Structure 1
Amino acid sequence: MSEPIASVSAGIGSAGRGRPSAPRFRAFTARDLDTLAKRAGLSAMDQLALRAVAAVLPFRTNSYVVDELIDWSRPLADPVFRLTFPQPGMLSAPDLARMTRLVAGQAPSAEVRRAANAVRAGLNPHPAGQLDLNGATLDGRPVPGVQHKYAETALVFPRQGQTCHAYCTYCFRWPQFVGQPELRIATDDADDALAYVRAHPEITSVLLTGGDPLVMTAEVLRRYIEPLLEIDSVQSVRVGTRALTFWPYRFVTDPDADALLRLFAKVVPRGRHLAVVVHLTHPQELRPEIARTALRRILDTGAVVRCQGPVVRGINDDPAVWAELWNTVTRLGAVPYYQFVERDTGPRDYFAVPLVRAYEIFRDAYAQVSGLARTVRGPVMSTTAGKVCVDGAADIAGTRVLVLHLVQARVPDLVGRPFFAAYDPTAIWLTDLRPAFGAEEFLPGLPTA
C-alpha cells in the first residue's frame, strides 16, 4: 500500500526510509543515436540508416527507458528497443536511400530538412480528417489546439505538453514532434479552450492530450484541470500519458510529484470522474517496481487508470503478450481499455498488422483473461467516421464478410450497429475494405467494387 498523498513529501528522495532516490531526467535525442546504436552492437551502416530515419521521424528516449526497460544483451529482439529506436524499414526503400545519401554526405541542414519534409508529406501526417473535420470554432473564429470530433468529447492539446518523455516509433501523433509548426495541434491559451468547453454544454468529457500533458509542471496542468471542475456540464476529465512507463518518477520523486497527485485528488471529491489514460504496448513496461509504485500512487488519488495501445508488428503481435498485459494491469488495479489498430499515418506499413490477424490476436488473448480484464475493446480503428471495431468474420448468404461496428461515431445514430465488409485477409485499414450488405451508410466514400 502506498503512503497517503498528504504524508509522502517528507520522504521523497530518501532512500534510507525505503523510498526510491530521485534520479535526474536525461533525454537522449538524435545527437546521441550513434552512441546508443554502438551499445546495441549495430554496424556502421546500420547506425547510418538509423540516423537517416531519425532525420525524418522523431527520436527521443531517456535514461530510464535505456537503463531499466531495454535488454541490451538482445536489443534487436527487444520490444522496447523496437518501440523507441528508429528501424530502417520505417521508411520506404527509395526514401531511405535518399535520406541515407544526404546524411552520409553531410548535406547542408536545409537540404536535409527539405528532403525530410517531402517524405513526411507522403506519410499522411493528419489522418481521419483531424484538421479539416475536427477543428473547433468559437464565435466564428478557430480555437487552436482543440479538437471536437464527437459531440460529448473535446480534446485539448496544451502547448506546454507538446513533447513526451520518450517517443514511440509507431506514434500516430508524430507530426507534433518534427519541427514543422504547420503540422502541430496546440493551444497557447487555456482560457480560450475552456471558453469553448463552456460554450458547448454537450461536452461532458475533456481529454488533455499532446504530446503528453504530464511533461508539464503540476502548476501549468492545474490551469487546465481546476477550471474544468467549475463547468457543470463536464462530468469527466481525462489525462492521456506515457509517463507511467517512460518516466514513472513523475509520480514518485519528481520535484512536484506530490503536487501533481494532490491536483488529481481534487477531481473526484468535486463529483467528477478522473481517468488517467495510460498508453501501454508491452508488459515489459510494467516490470520495474518503480512503475508499479507510480501506478499505486495514481490510484490512491481516486483516479481510474485505463490502459490502451495498438497491436504492432514486431513488438506485440502475439496473443500471449496481450494476455499477460491485460492480466497484469488488472491485477495492479488498472482497467484494460482499448486495443487499437496501427493508424494510417507515418510508418504504418512497417508496423501494421492485417485486420484479420489483429482480430485473431485479440480473440486469442481475450480468451485467456478473466471477465475483469474483458473491459478491453478491440481491435479498434480510429477512422474518419469514428472508432470502428472488428468483431470477426462470418458467412452471410454464402458470402464471407468481416463484421464491424462503431464504438464511437461522428453520427451518434450509427454507434453500436453492426455492419459488414467483404472479407479481405490482407486489408490493414478501413479504406482497404469494400462495403457489403448495405454498409455504405457506415462507410461513405469507400469503393463498392
Structure 2
Amino acid sequence: MQVKYFTNLDQLEDISAKEKEKLKKVSQRYPFRANDYYLSLIDWNDPLDPIKRIIIPSIGELNAWGELDPSEESKYTVMPGLEHKYDSTVLLLISNVCGGICRYCFRKRIFKQPNQEYLRDIEAAVDYIRGHKEVTNVLLTGGDSFMLPTKRLKLIVGKLREIGHVKIIRFGTKMPVFNPYRILEDSSLIELIKNYSTPQKRIYIITDINHPKELSKKAIKGLKMLFKAGAILTNQTPLIRNLNDDPEVMAELFRRLSFIGVPPYYVFQCRPSVGNKEYAVPIEKGYKIYEEAKSRVSGLAKSSHFVLSHASGKIEVVGMNSKKIFFKYHRAFKNKNSSRFFSCKRNSEAYWLEDYDALACIS
C-alpha cells in the first residue's frame, strides 16, 4: 500500500477551518508531517485522542521555552551527521525526514534546516569509524533511518559490517507504527536484516512507540517480521504530558511491548527543546508516574530506565526521598563520571538538570 503524506494542515478534512487557522502559526514555525495510515488511527471525536496528541500541532508549542539543541549534540559532532559522544558508540544521522513529525521532537532543528545536519558523506563516516577501534556500536538514526530506501540502507550496513570492531548496528525508527507497510511490503528490508543480523553481530532495532494505541495489528505484524528476520527489538519513549503521563497508560504500554517481544528500554524525560513546554512533565512527577507504572507490571515489562539525555551524559533518576532526588550517570561523556551517583535538593518544578543546583549536585 502506498501511503499518502501530508505536510499542510489544509489537506486534512477532519480539522475545522477555524482550528486550521489557529494552528497555522504553529506549523509555520515547526513543520507538520503525517501520513494517511497514521492519521487513520485517530478518533477525531475524542479531543484527547493520543495519536492526535502525537502528530497534530498544538497552540501551546508557541510558548517561548527551550532550545534548538538541548542536549548540545553540536559539541559531539565530528562531521555533519556523525556524532561521537561515548567512546564505544557512534551516532549517524542518515536521514533528515521522518514518517511523521512528533510534536515534541527534540531534533526540531533538523526539520527546520533539513539540508544541514544529516550525513551525506558515508565514505568519510566509515573511514572515521574504521580509525576508532573503540567503537563497537553504530546507531543509524535521523530523522528516521527507515525512511531511506532499502538499497541505501544496504550500502551503509554493508560498509559497516566490513569493520571488524563494529559488533552492533542499531536502527532508530518509528516506522513500524508510523507506516507498517514500509516493513510489510518490502521483502528486501527483511532480507537485509536476515543477511546482516548474525549470531555474533546482531542488528538491533530501537522502536519509538509512545502509546498502546499505536500498536495496531499491522504494526505488530511488521514487528514480528523484523523479529523473525533476526533483529533484536527494544523500545524507547519520552514521557509526554497528556499522552502517556498516566501510570496505567504507561503500564499498559510496558505490558503490551513485553508481550510482543519489544521490551521497554528507555523512558526519556522530555527534553527542553523549543516548543516543548506544552509536552513536558516535571522530572519528579514523571519519576513517580514511571515508578507507579513499573509497580503494576512484571518481568521484562520492568526493564526500562528513566533517564535524562543530558549534554553531559545519560542521567538515570534512581530515587527520591522527602528532601532529595537521586541520580546516577547511566553513561557519561567523561568516562570518570560513568556510574557516578549524586543527589540534588528536590524541586517539584524542575524539568531538566539545570533547574536543580546542578553544579552543587555533581561536585
TM-score, structure 1 as length reference: 0.78
1:342-361: per-residue Cα shift (whole Å, max 9, x none)?
11112121111011100001
* 1:64 paired residue among 21, 30, 37: 37
- Is 2:303 the counterpart of 1:330? no
Q: Is 1:125 aligned to 2:68, yes or no?
A: yes
Q: CA–CA distance in 2 between the matches of 1:282 and 1:367?
A: 18
Residues of 1 paired with 2:113 and 2:309: CA distance?
25
Secondary structure, aligned partner of 1:348: coil
Query: Is 1:149 equivalent to 2:123 in the alignment?
Result: no
Task: Look up the SS of the partner of 1:352 in the other structure.
Answer: coil
User: 2:54 maps to what in 1?
Assistant: 83
State how far apart, in whole Å, the 1-side matches of 2:358 and 2:221 are. 47
Judge conservation of contact 1:406–1:418 (CA < 8 Å) in 2.
Answer: yes
1:435 CA displacement: 4.2
Structure 2 counterparts to residues 212-223 of structure 1, below 5 A: 212-223=144-155
Whether the 8 Å contact between 1:356 and 1:392 is mirrored in structure 2 is no
Q: What does 1:234-383 align with in structure 2 at a 5 Å threshold?
A: 234-253=166-185, 257-269=186-198, 271-286=200-215, 288-378=216-306, 380-383=307-310
Instruction: State the match for 1:6 in structure 2.
Output: none
CA deviation after TM superposition for structure 1 residue 267, in Å: 2.2
Q: How far did 1:43 drift? A: 5.6
Contact 1:420 1:435 in 2 (8 A): no
Instruction: Provide the rounded CA distance (Å) in 2 between the counterparts of 1:355 and 1:324.
Output: 21
The 5 Å alignment of 1:71-110 reads: 71-74=43-46, 76-92=47-63
CA contact (8 A) 1:205 1:237 kept: yes
In structure 1, what residue type is equivalent to 2:58? Answer: Q
Alpha-carbon shift at residue 179 of structure 1 (Å): 3.8
**Alpha-carbon contact 1:319-1:361 (below 8 Å) kept:** yes
Matched residue SS, 1:317: coil
Which residue number in structure 2 is paired with residue 50 of structure 1?
23
SS in 1 for 2:170: strand
Give structure 1 regions of 4+ aligned residues with deviation exceeding 4 angstroms: none
Q: Deviations over 1:213-244 (max 9, x none)?
A: 11111110011101111111111000000101
Q: 1:270 offset after TM fit, Å?
A: 6.4
Question: CA shift at 1:314, angstroms?
Answer: 1.4
- How far apart in 1 are the matches of 2:59 and 2:210? 20
Give the deviation of 1:180 after TM superposition: 5.8
Change in CA separation of 1:187 and 1:35 when aligned onto 2, cut-off 3 Å: closer
SS of residue paired to 2:204:
strand
1:422 aligned residue: 345
Given that 1:422 and 1:435 are in contact with CA atoms closer than 8 Å, whether structure 2 keeps it comes out as: no
Contact 1:312 1:353 in 2 (8 A): yes
- 1:4-55 C-alpha deviation (Å, 9 max, x unpaired): xxxxxxxxxxxxxxxxxxx21210112xx1342x514x461x3212111000
Equivalent residue, structure 2, for 1:134: 76
3-state SS of paired residue (2:2) = coil
Q: Which whole-Å deviations, capped at 9, do the CAs of 1:90-125 have from their partners, x for residues lacking one?
A: 102xx7xxxxxxxxxxxxxxxxxxxxxxxxxx7511
Q: Percent identity?
A: 31
Matched residue SS, 1:64: helix
Q: CA deviation at 1:177?
A: 1.0
User: Unaligned regions of 5+ residues in structure 1, if any?
Assistant: 1-22, 96-121, 137-142, 442-449
Whether the 8 Å contact between 1:292 and 1:332 is mirrored in structure 2 is yes
Structure 2: gaps of 5 or more residues = none
Give the conservation status (yes or no) of the 8 Å contact 2:238–2:267.
yes
1:197 to 118, 129, 134: 129
Kept in 1: contact 2:265–2:305 (CA 8 A): yes
Q: CA deviation at 1:440?
A: 2.9
Does the 8 Å contact 2:96/2:114 carry over to 1?
no
Q: Tell me which of 39, 63, 86 is aligned to 2:14.
A: 39
Q: Which has the higher contact order (CA 8 A, sep 6+)?
A: 2
- Counterpart residue number, 1:17: none
Once the two structures are TM-superposed, the CA of residue 414 in structure 1 deviates from its matched residue by: 1.8
Over alpha carbons, which structure has the higher Rg?
Answer: 1
Question: Which residue does the alignment assign to 1:5?
Answer: none
TM-score (norm 2): 0.96
Q: Which residue of 2 aligns with 1:116?
A: none
